[in-house]
Amino acid sequence: MRNFLKIAVIAVAVAAASSDAFAQFGVNIGYMTSNTRPALAGIDAHNSRTNGFTVGIDSELKLIGNFLSIQPGLYYQHLLASEDIAEIAGLAAKNTYSDFFLAVPIHFKLGFNIIPDRMLRLYVFAGPTFEIGLKSADKISLSGRDISGEVSYNYYTGEFKTSSTELDNLVASYFPEGEKLYGRFDVMLGGGIGLQVIKFLDIKVGYDYGMIDRYRTDVEGRQPANRGQFYVGVGIRI
């Protein structure tokens, strides 16, 4: 999987090195929502929907006139979800789940002028996005029975932390310390559609689906946990 990341980095570097007067650079920010399929049959846990934002930069390099181009980029994705849990070991619990990624999309883009001179331009895009997970963690706030505090668990490293020694023994039976449940790397395929208005304003929507099962464990009854993500973005092109 590390080879995928190397390929993505090399592709961006080559694209940047080969940029010329016809290249357009963009800064983008947008809303993103993501979901992961349940890890175990009949268990939803936190593997539902997370919401957040994505922000990044890209470079559009023309391949065939104004018709076909390639658009590599570098994006940060910040996703969160919060839910109340009925209880854990008789304690009231609230869970906050976080997912942060660094993404390298490499999209091929077809564009059509609706109004000449890029005053209004419709385009479609598609291609792979190489992603590396920066953080994926649960933070659970517990209270009741004269015990209160927070517990956090990192799905990439398998480590958990507690805010008090009272919670150590309790947490040990719920969190598999040392077991790395998630893999950091993913390759997503997707595409979308967008509008470029008055040359510089860029509006787009897109969807990506992960090709790699996030879960590294082999548990009986486990279903694949492939991410899907939808996003709406606004950017400025120069």
Structural domains in the chain, sorted by start: 2-237 (2.40.160.20)
Q: What is the pLDDT of residue 87?
A: 58
Q: What is the pLDDT of residues 41-71, one digit of tens each?
A: 444 454 568 899 999 999 999 888 888 999 9
Cα separation, 189 vs 1, in Å, equals 15
pLDDT (average), residues 89-93: 65
Cα separation, 142 vs 145, in Å, equals 10
Q: What is the pLDDT of residue 70?
A: 94
> Which ranges of the chain does DSSP label H, i.e. alpha helix?
2-17, 168-172
More confident position, 104 or 200: 104
Q: What is the pLDDT of residues 126-185, one digit of tens each?
A: 999 999 999 998 887 776 666 677 778 888 888 878 776 666 666 665 555 567 888 999
Q: What is the pLDDT of residue 176?
A: 54
Cα separation, 20 vs 22, in Å, equals 5
Q: What is the pLDDT of residue 206?
A: 98
Cα separation, 13 vs 36, in Å, equals 31
Q: What is the pLDDT of residue 80?
A: 92
Cα separation, 179 vs 224, in Å, equals 18
Which residues contact residue 138 at a Cβ distance below 8 angstroms, ignoring those fewer than 6 apart? 46, 95, 96, 97, 151, 152, 153, 155
Residue 215 carries which DSSP code? B
Cα separation, 185 vs 70, in Å, equals 23
* Beta bridge partners of residue 37, listed in sequence order: none
